[in-house]
Amino acid sequence: MSAVAKFRTTLDLTGAPVLAWSFLGRLPAAMCPIGTLLMVSQQTGSVWRGSAVAGALALGQASGGPLLGRVADRRGQRRVGLAAAAVNTLALLALVATSLRGAALDWQLLLALLAGLSVPLVGPLSRSRWLHLAGGDGERVSAALWLDGLIDEIGFTSGPALVGLLAALVAPAAGLLLAAALVGGCATLFALHPTAAPGSGTARTGTARTNAPRTNPPRRLLSVPYGLLLAGMALLGVSFGSIQVGVTATTGHLGHAGAAGLVYGLMGGVSACSGVAMAALPARFELPTRLRAGTVLLLGASLLLPLLGHSLGGLTVAVGCVGLAVAPQMITMFGLVERTVPSARLGEAMAGLVSSITLAQSAGTVVAGWVATAGGPGAPFLVTCGAAGAALLLAATTASEQRYRRPEAVLSAA
């Protein structure tokens, strides 16, 4: 199925508006960490304070995501999505207000934690929603996961670049204010849309709400395959965080600090094109094979960063090459999750993957910042290479069709 056909298939499931709300509603999750760092650092003149507040937000986002996902799986996406969007919008606006007024660090930490805990799970719940609408149809499931993974990856890489541009052109707090507006508007519309998946704990008969019969007991979420996917996504997050620091440090060292957002944003643009090209891969090219091939590409591109990153042109080429590997990795891992976890806990599982990459990106940023201080502006790219090498080793030794067989295939084989 071509990229155009996959797009049309997914569009038939949802309609154009909800796809737009899904994209815009998930942008804040990528914008807020770096937006908080830039705003607090520039308001206080202390990078440490900015890092502390951004770390509190990332911690809340990583810990609150799976919890909200689990509640949404059980109680339905509409109520959970609306409540999270309202709390998150208010928390972000309060965080901006306290920062601009120079409030005590404790208040900023508390509000950042609340903002992280209440991030609406637009990305994870989108995937869960599309799969619910696909009704088990293989082609529709494949098309929905492809398009949603592409949208998610574009948001994850373009969000920080957008915040950087707004900070440079408007004000340090502009990124968080835009994020609050997107949450309050688009995340709310996404939650209200009729396609919102109902919870597994209730069923509707006419207008009455009744307890749904539990024909199958809830299955355990954490398994070896799912744990491996969490680890792979975390290594990708470390790569993101270290590249972000490396690009920022290198462009500043070269006297082009304002170019950091554009160079980093290039990775998202190239990655989007790579994700579109994935639609042309034949079905016989199985997901585990794609994961192994993607990690080879990621390591090869990462090695270009320390080799070519001594000039702005070389850095741009190297970052663009990394972008070739990003979308295939993310789309493939999200596709493998659909095979790995119980369908009733899919939203929670997707949220766990997002939490993994978010927390790991924060950790990668901290480690890369320390390495840059000790070893120079190009040193963070060594962290990128280490994470990519570990991802390749993990995929090469664990990613097999046997390990990621669908549960029904395992049962029939038995």
DSSP one-letter string for 254-269: TT-GGGHHHHHHHHHH
Structure-model confidence comparison of residues 235 and 154, the more confident one: 235
Asked whether residue 209 is assigned to any structural domain, the reply reads no
C-alpha span between 112 and 6 (Å, rounded)? 38
Same domain, 68 and 19: yes
**Per-residue confidence (pLDDT) for residue 47, from 0 to 100:** 60
The pLDDT of residue 71: 83
284 and 320, same domain (yes or no): yes
Is there a single domain that holds both residue 182 and residue 42?
yes
Identify the pLDDT of residue 114: 95
What is the pLDDT, as a whole number, of residue 216? 47
Confidence check: pLDDT of 408 > 60: no
Q: Is residue 122 part of a domain?
A: yes
If DSSP states are collapsed to H, E and C, what string results for 331-354? HHHHHHHHHHCCHHHHHHHHHHHH
Token code pair at residue 182: 């997107």
**CATH number assigned to the domain comprising residue 35:** 1.20.1250.20
pLDDT number for residue 207: 37
Within a domain: residue 72?
A: yes
Is the pLDDT reported for residue 411 higher than 50? no
The per-residue pLDDT for 88 is 95
Q: Is residue 215, in this structure, part of any structural domain at all?
A: no
CA distance 396 to 387: 14
115 and 249 belong to one structural domain: no
Determine the pLDDT at residue 206: 40
Average pLDDT over residues 40-69: 79
Instruction: Clarify whether residues 175 and 65 are in a common domain.
Output: yes
Q: Note the pLDDT of residue 204.
A: 42
Regarding whether 229 and 176 lie in a shared domain, the answer is: no
Q: Is the pLDDT of residue 112 over 90?
A: yes
Q: 45 and 96: one domain?
A: yes
DSSP lists the bridge partners of residue 204 as: 209
Average pLDDT over residues 49-65: 81
Higher pLDDT: 274 or 4? It is 274
Which of 61-70, 95-104, 148-157, 330-339 shows the lowest per-residue confidence on average (mean pLDDT)?
Answer: 148-157
Q: What is the pLDDT of residue 107?
A: 93
Neighbours of 289 (CB within 10 A): 16
Domain boundary among 142, 170, 199: 199
Least confident range of 83-87, 115-119, 260-264, 383-387: 260-264
Tell me, yes or no, whether 183 and 304 share the same domain.
Answer: no
**Distance between CA 88 and CA 135 in Å, rounded?**
31
Q: Which of 163-167, 176-180, 197-201 has the lowest mean pLDDT?
A: 197-201
Is the same domain home to 75 and 132? yes
Residue 240 lies in a domain: yes
Percent of the chain topping pLDDT 90: 25
pLDDT at 129: 80
Give pLDDT, residue 212: 40
Does 180 fall in a domain?
Answer: yes
Give the pLDDT of residue 217: 44
Per-residue model confidence (pLDDT) at position 80: 87
Range of the domain at 367: 220-414
Round the average pLDDT of the chain to a whole number and report it. Answer: 81
Q: Inform me whether the pLDDT recorded for 366 exceeds 90.
A: no
Out of 141, 167, 199, pick the residue that ends a domain. Answer: 199
Domain stop point among 167, 199, 231: 199
DSSP string, 2-67: -HHHHHHHHHHHH-HHHHHHHHHHHHHHHHHHHHHHHHHHHHHS-HHHHHHHHHHHHHHHHHHHHH
Better-scored residue on pLDDT, 209 or 110: 110
Asked, for residue 6, whether it belongs to a domain, the answer is no
Indicate if 140 and 224 belong to the same structural domain: no
Q: Shortest CA distance to 222 belongs to which of 119, 332, 353?
A: 353
Q: Are 384 and 350 members of one domain?
A: yes
Does residue 184 sit in the same domain as residue 243? no
Q: 5 lies in a domain?
A: no
What's the confidence (pLDDT) of residue 261? 67
Q: What is the pTM of this model?
A: 0.73
User: CB of 323 within 8 A of CB of 267?
Assistant: yes
- Across 282-292, average pLDDT: 82
Q: Considering its fold, how many domains does the chain have in total?
A: 2
